[in-house]
Amino acid sequence: MKHRQFFWRKNWFWYVILFALAAVWIIPLVYMVSMSFRDTEQAFDPNLFAGPLTWKNYELVIKQNPLPRYFFNSLVVTIVSVLIVTLGASMAAFGLTRPGVRGKSLIYNLLLSSLMVPITALVIPLAQINSRLEWQNTYWGLIFPYAALGIPFGLVVIKGFMDNFPKELEEAATMDGCGSLRFFLAIVLPVLRPGLVVVVIWQFLTSWNEFFLALIVMTDKTMKTLPLVPMQYQGFYFSQPGALFAILVLLTVPTIVFYVLVQRNFIRGLLSGAVKG
């Protein structure tokens, strides 16, 4: 107890700064939730809180949209893309850190350069590829592009862990007759767990919230993902602001819950990757 009081007295200034920054960052989120409970008449009230509160916006959104279907579509695309990115990035990092691999620096730099290209610049080429492969309105039309765009980032994160991988473990496993596949599955992956957690969280949030490519690929109403739903409530005259913010709240809740559950592992993974030796 005394240690906590001493720590608080010593760092009170930074706590005040952090609380102030957190309050500023959370205001838009609070305003979004407040807007979702307002009638059309009070929708553009500049106050942070305005009454009376109503559930009509949520009832309207739930009645007009098959939200369970959209949620399922987003969940399938996100989970499969996360699995592919995690496995592909870990295998690529393992291969690019093996001695005797020719051209590994060139391969790594080429993959790294793909991070500089925004997904908005690739929407049209990816849509054309999906059309030729008949992947329009299919899960694969989003899963494979998300995986291809996510593997370079995952490679950068996991390779930082592989560069610090103890060589003694590999030498001992080789002397015991452990093959490359068994060594990768039984020894490397458990050691890479902090990096894998970072990649899983990052790819989950990226795939779940992606909009532009999903807008082009998922033109069938039954195949839409959750980020596409708010678009139908914008309209030219913005006549349904409460319904728009209601669906935004429903879209945001899963990501917030997911991050709250895994935030400790995310921060631990980032800090582990930053420590050398």
Instruction: Verify that 210 and 135 share a domain, yes or no.
Output: yes
CATH number at residue 167: 1.10.3720.10
For residue 18, give its domain range. 2-54
With beta carbons less than 8 A apart as the criterion, state whether 155 and 95 touch.
no
Return the sign of the alpha-carbon dihedral for residues 26, 27, 30, 35: negative
Instruction: Verify that 48 and 75 share a domain, yes or no.
Output: no
62 within some domain = no
More confident residue, 187 or 145: 145
**Share of residues in the chain with pLDDT > 90 (%):** 13
Q: Please write the tens of the pLDDT for every residue from 162-201.
A: 777 777 776 677 777 777 777 777 777 887 887 888 888 8
Residue 274 scores a pLDDT above 50: no
Q: Identity (one letter) of the amino acid at 162?
A: M
Q: Which residues contact 220 (CB under 8 A, 6 or more apart)?
A: 137
State the pLDDT at residue 144.
Answer: 92
What are the Cα distances from residue 64, in Å, to 45, 58, 242, 268?
A: 26, 10, 14, 42
Instruction: Verify that 91 and 163 share a domain, yes or no.
Output: yes
13 within some domain = yes
Instruction: Verify that 43 and 78 share a domain, yes or no.
Output: no
More confident residue, 202 or 51: 202
Instruction: Verify that 73 and 33 share a domain, yes or no.
Output: no
Domain edge (last residue) among 10, 28, 54 = 54
Instruction: Verify that 202 and 104 share a domain, yes or no.
Output: yes
Of 55-69, 135-149, 177-191, the poorest mean pLDDT is in: 177-191
Domain edge (last residue) among 25, 54, 83 = 54
244 within some domain = no
245 within some domain = no
179 within some domain = yes
**Share of residues in the chain with pLDDT > 70 (%):** 86
Instruction: Verify that 45 and 72 share a domain, yes or no.
Output: no
Pick the most confident of 2-6, 73-77, 111-115, 124-128. 73-77
Of 17-31, 43-57, 65-79, the poorest mean pLDDT is in: 43-57
Instruction: Verify that 135 and 270 share a domain, yes or no.
Output: yes
Number of structural domains in the chain = 2
Instruction: Verify that 76 and 202 share a domain, yes or no.
Output: yes
Instruction: Verify that 214 and 153 share a domain, yes or no.
Output: yes
Q: For every residue of the chain, which 3-state class applies, written as one string?
A: CHHHHHHHHHCHHHHHHHHHHHHHHHHHHHHHHHHHCCCCCCCCCCCCCCCCCCCHHHHHHHHHCCHHHHHHHHHHHHHHHHHHHHHHHHHHHHHHCCCCCCCHHHHHHHHHHHHHCCHHHCHHHHHHHHHHCCCCCCCHHHHHHHHHHHHHHHHHHHHHHHCCCCHHHHHHHHHCCCCHHHHHHHHHHHHCHHHHHHHHHHHHHHHHHCCHHHHHHCCCHHHCCHHHHHHHHCCCCCCCHHHHHHHHHHHHHHHHHHHHHHHHHHHHHHHHHHCCC
State the pLDDT at residue 20.
Answer: 85
Domain edge (last residue) among 12, 31, 54 = 54
- Hey, what are 1's tokens? 């107890």
Long-range contact pairs involving 244-251 (C-beta distance under 8 Å, separation at least 24): 245/32, 245/33, 245/35, 245/36, 245/57, 246/36, 246/57, 246/58, 246/60, 246/61, 247/61, 247/65, 248/32, 248/36, 249/32, 249/33, 249/36, 250/58, 250/61, 250/67, 250/226, 251/226, 251/227
247 within some domain = no
Instruction: Verify that 142 and 30 share a domain, yes or no.
Output: no
Residue 146 scores a pLDDT above 90: yes
Residue 248's closest CA among 204, 197, 211?
211
Other beta carbons within 10 angstroms of residue 194's beta carbon come to: 18
Instruction: Verify that 9 and 92 share a domain, yes or no.
Output: no
119 within some domain = yes
242 within some domain = no
